[in-house]
Amino acid sequence: SKLGSTLPFTGQEIADMAGTTTETAIRVMSRLKDSGVIRSSRGRIIILDETKLRLLSEGPPGV
């Protein structure tokens, strides 16, 4: 099966871009991994479910 987009970022780089701590970024990425949205390996993040990631990033409806 075809993998999704691959992003060349570490947890630290994601944290820096999001303006948060590395610990928070890693915790969120762990939840996304557990949900099957992403996979990560050696400084790369692979998006497995772009639709679900987009929905999660938009937050709950009506907010």
> Do 12 and 54 form a contact (C-beta atoms < 8 A)?
no
Domains by residue range for the chain, with CATH: 10-58 (1.10.10.10)
pLDDT at site 61:
75
Helix (H, G, I), strand (E, B) or coil at 40: strand
pLDDT at site 2:
58
Strand arrangement, sheet containing 44-47 = 6-7, 44-47, 38-41
Tell me the pLDDT tens digit for each residue of 22-61. Answer: 999 999 999 999 999 999 988 899 999 999 999 988 888 7
Any idea which residue has 């639709």 for tokens? Answer: 51
pTM value is: 0.80
Query: What secondary structure letter does DSSP report for 37?
Result: S
